[in-house]
Structure formats: C-alpha cells, structure tokens
C-alpha cells in the first residue's frame, strides 16, 4: 500500500475508508472526468474490472483491480508504488497532463476506493509478459474471434465495419483501418501491423493511446481467432 505518505498514514490511523471518500473514489474510477483533458474518453473502468472476475467475461487489457492494494508490486513488479502504477495509466492512456499527487482529494478518494476493493492478504505482483518481437500467429476459430472482438475491442472501437457505438471517434474502424496500410507500411503484411498494435498499444514508438495487451491479457490463440474474424 505505498501510495504516498499522507494517504497511507490516513489508512493506518484508521481514519481512511470513510464512506463518502470511497463513494467518490468509485465514481472517479467509473468516469472519464478524472482526467482534466477534454479529449479523454477513458475511465479506469474502460480497461479494469473491480470484481474478482470481469463481468460478462470481458477481456480487458488491464488486470482486475480487485485486491490491487494488497499486491506487493504492479506492472509485473516494475512499479513498487501503487500511485506510480496508477499514474502510468493516467498519463499514458487518459491524457492526464501531470501525474496525480498523493494528497489531492481526487487521488486520495481513488486510493480509498482501491483499498475498499482489496480485502485479500498481501500477494506478489501479477505476471505481465509483453510480447516484444512481433511475429505471425496461427489463425483460429472465427466464431471465437467474434466473441473476442466483442469482449475485448468493441467497447472502444464499436461495431465491426461501422464503428457504431464506439467510445471515441479517435478509435479506428476495424478492420477497414488496414485499407491504408499498403501506403503507410509498404512491404509489411497487414496482419502484422494489427498484431503489433494489439501487443504494443502506443509503446515501442507505435504512438496513440490504445493500451497494450500482454500475453496474460490476450492469448495468441484468441488473437489468431480475432484476426480470422476480421478477415486478416
């Protein structure tokens, strides 16, 4: 529970966890307004469940934050302070202009909420395996791929082919976005560009603000099914 001195002190002193702070924290978790950027449409709940198992079988890029405050490390152990783990998301994905400070009311409420959904005992950091080298994956069942699209991609990208219901206009229409890839990425097979986007998100010089999917978040088999569904 290494958030910042003040927030941690509050909880240890038993003054933390007031119902109103937890409620406010939960609202912030669910709403894009946590970020001051008018261009942000993401909330924490866009990418993280708060229940032990994501509802409706959703496939999120990020782990469920159930028990998050009980973990001893985050992002595969690369982050050792919870607030830094949160701020990485806040700045990279939610267009947060500057990181949340531990004593800010918003930040404290969010912390109280995360503690309130962490009833379990201390636990090691969860594994986080980033696929660095992008290679082809075997295609799998397109029917499963339709499910994977709905469970993993649709919240942000909307319906296939039209983008209907997408979270933000910035999210490309799938799979049509690949129609420009021959000009944009000459000589690179289109599926590889899509695999790279899913595995690297905005990182490794890809750009944008889509999250990356680790192996734990999305298996190669489900990715292969998704590509089959998208006709790639």
Closer by beta carbon to ligand HEC, 102 or else 211: 211
Which three-class secondary structure state does DSSP give residue 107?
Answer: helix
Closer by beta carbon to ligand HEC, 13 or else 153: 153
**Residues 6 or more apart whose Cβ sits within 8 Å of residue 131:** 199, 200, 214, 215
Residue with tokens 């607030």: 83
Tokens in use for 75? Answer: 């992002």
Q: Which of 1, 109, 194, 228 binds ligand HEC (CB under 6 A)?
A: 194
Least CB distance to ligand HEC at residue 218 (A): 6
- What span, in angstroms and rounded, lies between the C-alpha atoms of 30 and 25? 9
Which sign, positive or negative, has the C-alpha torsion 130, 135, 140, 145? positive
Using a 10 angstrom Cβ sphere, with 0-12 exposed, 13-18 middle and 19 or more buried, the burial of residue 134 is middle
Least CB distance to ligand HEC at residue 121 (A): 15
Q: Which of 128, 140, 228, 229 binds ligand HEC (CB under 6 A)?
A: 128
177 binds ligand HEC (CB under 6 A): yes
Residues at the contact surface with ligand HEC, assessed by CB under 6 A: 34, 42, 44, 46-48, 61-63, 65, 68, 71, 74-75, 82, 85-86, 89-90, 93-94, 126, 128, 152-153, 155-157, 168, 170-172, 174, 177, 194, 197-198, 202, 208-212, 226
């Amino acid at each position: 529970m290494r958030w910042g001195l003040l927030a941690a002190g509050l909880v240890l002193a038993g003054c933390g966890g007031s119902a109103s702070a937890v409620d406010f924290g939960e609202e912030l978790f669910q709403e894009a307004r946590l970020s001051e950027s008018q261009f942000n449409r993401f909330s924490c709940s866009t990418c993280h469940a708060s229940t032990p198992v994501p509802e409706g079988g959703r496939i999120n890029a990020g782990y469920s934050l159930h028990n998050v405050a009980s973990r001893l490390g985050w992002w595969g152990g690369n982050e050792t302070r919870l607030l830094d783990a949160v701020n990485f998301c806040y700045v990279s994905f939610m267009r947060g202009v500057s990181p949340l400070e531990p004593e800010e009311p918003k930040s404290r409420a969010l912390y109280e909420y995360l503690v309130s959904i962490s009833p379990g005992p201390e636990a090691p950091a969860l594994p986080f395996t980033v696929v660095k080298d992008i290679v082809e994956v075997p295609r799998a069942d397109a029917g499963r791929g339709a499910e994977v699209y709905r469970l993993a991609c649709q919240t942000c990208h909307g319906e296939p082919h039209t983008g209907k219901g997408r979270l933000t206009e910035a999210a490309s229409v799938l799979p049509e976005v690949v129609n420009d890839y021959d000009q944009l990425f000459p000589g690179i097979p289109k599926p590889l560009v899509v695999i790279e986007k899913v595995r690297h998100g905005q990182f490794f010089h890809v750009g944008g603000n889509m999250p990356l999917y680790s192996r734990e978040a999305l298996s190669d088999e489900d990715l292969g099914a998704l590509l089959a569904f998208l006709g790639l």
